[in-house]
Structure 1
Amino acid sequence: MGKQTSRTTAYLKEIDNSLQNRALRLRRSFSSILQASIAAGLAFWLAHDVAGHERPFFAPMSSIIILGLSSGNRLRRAVELSIGCSIGVGLGDLIIMGIGTGNWQMTLAIFVSLVVATFLSSSQLLINQVAVGSILIATIIPPGSAAGPERMFDAVIGCTVGIVVMALIPHSPLAGGRREVAKVLRLASSVLKDVAVALPRRDHESIFAALKQVRGSQGAINAMLEAAKSAKEDTRVSPLLWASKRRVRSFARILAPVDNVIRNTRVLARRAQVLSEDGDEVSQEQICIIEELAEITDHLADVYAQPEQNQEALEIPETVKRLRQLAARAGISIATDVLSAQVILAQTRSIIVDLLQVCGMSRESAVAALVPTSHSPAFPPEVVTDLKED
């Protein structure tokens, strides 16, 4: 009976977590849902009631396609979509009028359309729309009818409305990007924790599992970069977000250091696996530094998980202080004469520099915070406080 109750409790908790995640996803996507709904309705009204098109299905479709793009190039994609529609319908019209409709005629029309589109542009969106235009002419829209030119005009209406709605009902420009940064930092923190726990036990299997985890991080990094591109575009398009341009530029500056954090963590984990397989050891001080780095990285992830920047002014200075203290401890003397231990130290130092840059310091000042390992360091130790402008 007790086991049944325990399973029921676990099942109910799982349902509760699932509902919470679904509600959170809906809340985060609500502005996108609102944008798409308003744009589709407005595009249909303009094409149907104002322009007088009988079935303007491509007007709302184009607006949703444009709003659904997240690459940060929606203005260019809107032009490509409109041009692709025009070329596709025009080519389809010419070809189908000459050879008629049928199986092989459709195949030939699509082949010719794709050849022409690929010759004219490398944009996959434009190429796809050319093919779609030819398919419509060969199947639904009669060759030579007014529906072809109308579809071109509908595409322009839909794309234009999508851009206008994006400008008038903008997203919060940094919310998505900050969440993606938090994901990347949390992944790095998790791997560093696993390495710090496994090193004293020479548990190379646990380190290998952590390494597999961090090797799958490219998707999170790409999402972070795409979110930043979209934020830049939103602030260019929407007058309501022009005041946020400085914050978006400041955010974009930390993306390369965040990427470097995960890359250097990957190298550290790989070398830790080699060291454990060889049966070698690192000093307790190295393990302590890696543990504290994991804690600091997790703390920064918490800071960036917040939707706004208010918390950073309070948290970043203390984080910089902790990282400086680690930088002063990470000297060559704490590593043994084993090559793998020295490589782990080098990567630890690199991660400290990366995290200081995430906190707003320049690379030169971040490197200067490290205890020197060279007789002639490029950036000698100095007292620096040059946090970049938020």
Structure 2
Amino acid sequence: MHVSEVWRRSSRFLRVRSRVGLARTRKSVVPAVQMTICGVGGYAFAELVLGHQGPIFAATAGLVSLGFSREPRVRRVLEVGVGCTLGILVGELLILVLGHGLWQAAIILFVSIMLARFLDRGVVFTTQLGLQSLLVVLLPVPQSGPFTRSIDAVVGGVIALLITMVVPRDPRTEPRAELSALLREQAQILRESASAVEDTDATGAWHALVRARGTQSTIDAMRVTLSGSTEIASLAPAYRRHRDELAGLGDALSAVDLALRNSRVFVRRLASVLNNAALSESGAESIVAVLRDLGDAVDSLAAAVGERRSDGRDRLIRRARYELGDVATRMHPRLLHIQHLEGETLVVLLRPLIVDLLESTGLSHEDARDFLPDLD
């Protein structure tokens, strides 16, 4: 390969890596500052206020408790902090009984790990308890006494917890963005289904089904995100007023989860219907129109969920509810000019999906159900 070509590729690689690295660095400023304050602050407090000499465990306990995260979760901080403190305490207690040495270190480490597994199933908790107890037994006892290290660990853990509660980002931001993206994925599934019907393409329907199935991992991850946001809102004074809003997001997520499950049922049946060419031309046209209108309504709902201003969000939710309700009022085989059993089955399967989406706008099940025409 020519030298100039090697240089060109190397330069391009370095430019890309530099851009990615700079972007990652910019996003890491806040957690880096938090970790710095936590580590140095814990050490300074233990040394200057409590008078401990070389309180290294205050710094390490604070750092590992907080971890490197843009939004540290309270449960994780508590879990790691308690693990650090217990590990140090167990190590110091066993040292008083067994003394120092390699065989003592082996016994203390084994006992600490087994104690951690008894107390909690968390892997991080077990690792921290074992690590801290091992460090305690291998490092020399400080001049200020053995149990000062346990106090240092408490100091570090408390500072990490305070930072988590006092300096979080708005806990609504990430759940709103993720739920909005999930709704847009739902809209795309509906549009892919519409295209499959329009082209009488069973393979396209199967692709939509695969896409719908792929949303479950996103939903599970969202539940974790929402749980962390709820923890922050419960503990951080600045965000306690948002607890009801986060609860509403949780209800909306549950409704969207049901809608996506019903989407999978619908698309699976749709693929079978298309395989057997069981839809009439007029029935197919009606289903295509319904699916596309429903996709547009879900896009409106996604925009509403992602809106940051409450007044704009309320307006967009009303619009999305109107659009969903308009589709719901047409969900009767006769109104869609569908006469065959296979087409009627598709309409029946779409009805609960639309009800779930209406519930995600804040309606009760009964109010959402009232939009549907009675089947007679």
TM-score band, normalised by the shorter chain? 0.7 to 0.9
Deviations 1:51-80 (A, max 9, x none): 334123324314423966755xx2x55444
Q: Residue 383 of structure 1 aligns with which residue?
A: none
What amino acid is the match of 2:348? Answer: A
Which segments of 5 or more consecutive residues in structure 1 lack a partner in the other structure?
1-11, 376-390
User: Which residue pairs with 1:119 in the alignment?
Assistant: 118
Counterparts of 1:85-96 in structure 2, within 5 Å, are 85-92=84-91, 94=94
- SS of the residue corresponding to residue 172 of structure 1 reads coil
SS in 1 for 2:121: coil
What is the correspondence of 1:128-143 to structure 2 with a 5 Å cutoff?
A: 128-137=127-136, 140-142=138-140
Give the AA of the match of 1:337. Answer: H
Cα-Cα RMSD: 3.5
Q: How does 1:362-377 map to 2 (within 5 A)?
A: 362-373=364-375
Alpha-carbon spacing, 1:143–1:277, altered in 2? closer, same or farther (3 Å)? farther
Q: Does 1:211 align with 2:209?
A: yes
Inter-partner Cα distance in structure 1 for 2:86 and 2:324: 57
CA distance in 1, matches of 2:348, 2:357: 14
8 Å Cα contact 1:290/1:348 also seen in 2 = no
- Change in Cα spacing, 1:82 to 1:324, as seen in structure 2 (3 Å) is closer
User: Partner of 1:283: helix, strand, or coil?
Assistant: helix
**How far 1:193 moved relative to its partner?**
0.9
Distance 1:132 1:68 in 2: 25
1:208-253 Cα shifts (integer Å, max 9, x gaps): 2232222222232123222322232222212222333333333333
Q: How far did 1:273 drift? A: 2.1
Aligned length: 353
Other-structure match for 2:166 = 168
Query: How many Å separate the matches in 1 of 2:189 and 2:53?
Result: 58
Pairwise CA distance, 1:286: 1.7
**1:175-202, CA deviations, whole angstroms, 9 ceiling, x for partnerless residues?**
1110010121111111111111012323
Query: After alignment, is 316-325 or 341-350 more displaced?
Result: 341-350
| Pairing 1:22-61 to 2, within 5 Å after superposition | 26=26, 32=31, 34-51=33-50, 52-54=52-54, 55-56=56-57, 57-61=59-63
- Distance in 2 between residues matched to 1:316 and 1:241, nearest whole Å: 23
Q: TM-score, normalised by structure 1?
A: 0.77
Q: Distance in 2 between matches of 1:157 and 1:205?
A: 60
TM-score (norm 2): 0.79
Q: 1:222 is matched with which residue: 213, 220, 223? A: 220
User: What's the offset of the Cα at 1:121?
Assistant: 2.9
2:78–2:161 contact (8 Å) kept in structure 1: no
Work out whether residues 185 and 262 of structure 1, in 8 Å CA contact, stay in contact via their aligned partners in 2: no
Runs of 4+ in structure 1 deviating by more than 6 angstroms, as ranges, are 18-22, 66-69, 143-148
In structure 1, what is the equivalent of residue 357 of structure 2?
A: 355
8 Å CA contact 1:88, 1:113 repeated in 2: yes
Tell me, yes or no, if the aligned pair for 2:65 and 2:157 is still in contact at 8 Å: yes
For the Cα contact (< 8 Å) 2:112–2:133, is it kept in 1? yes
State the shift of 1:298 in Å: 1.8
Q: 1:24 to 1:364 in 2, by over 3 A?
A: farther
Contact 1:330–1:370 under 8 Å retained in 2: yes
How far apart in 2 are the matches of 1:127 and 1:271? 47
Match of 1:81 in 2: 80
Aligned in 2, Cα 1:264/1:25: closer, same or farther, shift over 3 Å? farther
Q: Does 1:337 align with 2:340?
A: yes
Residue number in structure 1 paired with 2:289: 288
